[in-house]
Amino acid sequence: MSLPEIVSRAQWRAAREELLVKEKAVTRARDALNAERRRLPMVEIDREYVFEGGGGTSPLERSRGLGGGKATLLDLFEGRQQLIVHHFMFAPEWDAGCRGCSAFLDQIGHLAHLHARGTTFAAVSRAPYTRILPFKARMGWILPWYSSHLGDFNEDFEATLDQEGELVERPGLSCFLRDGDRVFHTYSTYGRGLDGLGSTTSLLDLTALGRQEEWEEPEGRASALGVPVGSECVRHHDEYDD
């Protein structure tokens, strides 16, 4: 097994400081890339997508099988201004969800921090809701998870691809913005685009409103929700008023 070279503390510190210069350059480049992503145009959704798993109950109640009604894409926002959908690979004929997608969901932090920034997170799969529920219970997840088997949502947002007549699943994330009852698609990423994601800030970086920090570009997005902004407004997850 190849291990790092053994050096003195002074040598380590010099090497660490040299690497830190490169790390800071990557951070600045990432900030610039995130700003460019927020400047992307958006597309209005003019199709009426229907999902299974709603029913007017809370996400916790739905996770316990007390929902199961129908929901529109607008319903998935749960009244918030932004929505992040995880395209979870779970085909109708599968007995369990994708292992990689499951590992990704295991990394998602407490949703209260996203909710405080006006952003809802939900998983969507093509498997029927009756297959999703037992697997969700097995995994111990309480986040919202909907079935799109009633329509073409997965295909339209390129999470399910038709390859020579065979439907192939791929993992991804899609971001949506709501203006009243109008819904807009702002961003999607797939496969390796999910690497390094899972934290609240990394997910917000994909959205049109970003982290809602005053230093972010373009100007004016931080106050779009009309709520206190900035990292100083982070609370213990049980202290937010949602």
What percentage of residues in the chain have a pLDDT greater than 70? 89
Note the helical H segments in the chain: 9-38, 59-63, 73-76, 99-106, 112-115, 129-139, 153-156, 200-204
Binned at pLDDT 50, 70 and 90, residue 50 comes out as very high
Mean pLDDT of 17-25: 98
154 CB-near residues (< 8 Å, 6+ apart): 87, 124, 125, 126, 148, 160, 169
Q: Dihedral through CA 125, CA 171, CA 169, CA 46, nearest 10?
A: 60
Mean pLDDT of the chain: 90
Specify the residue for token string 């999470």: 159
> Given pLDDT bands bounded at 50, 70 and 90, which one contains residue 205?
very high
Nearest by Cα to 71 from 48, 89, 88: 48
Note the pLDDT tens digit of each residue in 53-99: 854 344 444 444 445 688 999 999 999 999 999 999 999 999 999 99
- Going by the DSSP 8-state scheme, the letter that residue 110 receives in this structure is -
CB 88 within 8 Å of CB 135: no
Quote the strand ranges of 133-171, DSSP E. Answer: 145-147, 160-163, 166-169
| pLDDT single digits (tens) 114-143 | 999 999 999 999 999 999 999 999 999 999
Q: Which residues make beta-bridge pairs with 163?
A: 166
* Mean pLDDT to the nearest integer, 17-23: 98
Residue of higher predicted confidence among 242 and 144: 144
Q: 229 versus 81: which is more confidently predicted? A: 81
- Where b means 16+ CB within 10 Å and e means fewer, 155-182 reads eebebbeeeeeeeebebbbbbbbbeeee
Least trusted range by pLDDT, from 107-111, 114-118, 153-157, 231-235: 231-235
- Could you tell me the pLDDT band of residue 238, with boundaries at 50, 70 and 90? confident
pLDDT score of 191 more than 60:
yes
* pTM (predicted TM-score): 0.90
Per-residue confidence (pLDDT) for residue 225, from 0 to 100: 64
Q: pLDDT at residue 16 above 60?
A: yes
